[in-house]
Amino acid sequence: MKELEQQRDVLWHGLEMVDRARCWYHRQLQGLCDRQHRGNGRQLDNDYKSDSPNRVNQLLDKIERVNYCLCNFISCAEQGLPPRHCAAVPRGQRRRSREDESDQQRAVASLKRQNHLLTKEVSRKSQWISQLEAERESLVQRLLDTRLQS
């Protein structure tokens, strides 16, 4: 009985966290939509003017990690496996059946979603690096111009 109560408490706590996260995601999306409508995304609120691009990227990294973990958790839960054991089931110990094929299809779909998230992250970081390199090049050019003037 005590174990069941503990499981229930953990599940209720998880549901509460998911609800809070859902509300946060909705607020963020609404804020983005509002900013886009006001200035086509160019004008930022005072809250966002003070945020450095690095801080925003760190937040996006964390959001993507949370999304990845949730995706992995849901995929494993659908297979009836605890998340930490999701990829650890040896193929030889699994029975071949339609259910297994369905599990494999879900696992492939999960891997595709994870791959998509990782590809997006790599692309975003690549853009960030390109932006930093352009800024560096601009600063070097300004430095050379300043030296030539003096």
Which pLDDT does position 90 carry in this prediction?
Answer: 37
Which pLDDT does position 129 carry in this prediction?
Answer: 92
- Strongest mean pLDDT among 30-34, 69-73, 141-145: 141-145
Residue whose entry in the numeric block shows the structure tokens 């990690």: 65
The string of pLDDT tens digits covering residues 59-114 is 888 888 888 888 888 888 888 766 555 544 333 434 445 666 777 787 888 888 88
Look up residue 10 and give its amino acid: V
> What's the predicted TM-score (pTM) here?
0.45
Cα dihedral 100, 101, 107, 108 in deg (nearest 10): 160
d(CA 23, CA 5): 27
Q: What is 57-96 written as a DSSP string?
A: HHHHHHHHHHHHHHHHHHHHHHHT--GGGTT---GGGSPP
Classified as helix, coil or strand, 44 is coil
Report yes or no: 72 and 82 within 8 Å, Cβ to Cβ: no
Which pLDDT does position 141 carry in this prediction?
Answer: 94
Averaged pLDDT, 112-123: 87
Average pLDDT, the chain: 79
Has residue 133 got a pLDDT over 60? yes
DSSP 42: -
Which pLDDT does position 89 carry in this prediction?
Answer: 39
Has residue 25 got a pLDDT over 60? yes
Residue 101, CB-side half-sphere exposure with 13 Å CA sphere: 3
Q: Who has greater pLDDT, 50 or 94?
A: 50
